[in-house]
Amino acid sequence: MYRIPVPYFKLTEDFEIINVSQSVTHIFYPVTSFLDLVDWDSKTKFKQIKTDSSPGVMELNLKTTDSPTTLFTVYFHYQQKEKVIHLVCMNETSAFQHVQLEFQQWRKQLENNDWNEVVATDAEPVEADISFEFHKKQAERKISTINDLLGIIQDDLSEVGKLEYIKLIQSELEDIKGLLRS
C-alpha cells in the first residue's frame, strides 16, 4: 500500500489510521486518527461515511502541511463486514487555482484590447470583424454556461465552506463579460 501513487488511507471503523500510501506522508501531518486531519466544518459530513452508500465520493476540507484547509475530493469504500474504510484523497485546490489564473490572464488581455491573443484571426479585415463578433458572442455564451454550471455545484461548495470561491469565479466572469460588451 505504501507505493500507491495517490494519497490513500486505510482506516478502522472508528477512523483510526491503519495504513497509508507514501504520498500521505508528504501532504498530511502524522496523526493516528483521520478525524484530526478533517476540518471542523467537514467532520459531521465525513462521519456520515458509514451510513452513505459505498463506494462513494464526497468533498472535504482537510488540514495539510501547506494549509489549514484544503479542498479534497475523497473517494471512499466502507467495508462493513471487515470494519475497514478505504479512502483516496484528491487535492482540488490546484484545479481551482489553474482556472482562476486563466481567468486573470483573459481579463488582462481583454483590458489591454489584446483580443487577437485570446482569439486568433487570419481573415480579411471585413471577415475579421465578423469573426471577432462571432467569437465575442461565443465567449459570452461560454461564460453564461460556466455560470450555469457553477450554480449547480454552488450548494455542494457551500456545504464545505467554499462558497466564496464560487462568488469569486462568478465575479471574475461578470467582469470579463462586461469587458466583452464594452
Confidence of residue 123 (pLDDT cuts 50, 70, 90): very low
Grid coordinates standing for 61?
Answer: 476540507
At 95-112, the pLDDT tens digits run 566 566 667 777 777 777
On average, the pLDDT of the chain sits at 80
| pLDDT value of residue 35 | 95
- Measured CA to CA, the distance from residue 46 to residue 130 in angstroms comes to 53
At 2-61, the pLDDT tens digits run 677 789 999 999 999 999 998 898 899 899 999 999 999 899 999 988 887 678 999 999
Average pLDDT over residues 115-119: 52
pTM: 0.53
Average pLDDT over residues 133-143: 75
What are the CA-CA distances from residue 125 to residues 1, 135, 136, 137 (Å)? 61, 15, 16, 18
At 78-95, the pLDDT tens digits run 998 999 999 999 888 765
What share of the chain in percent tops pLDDT 90? 28
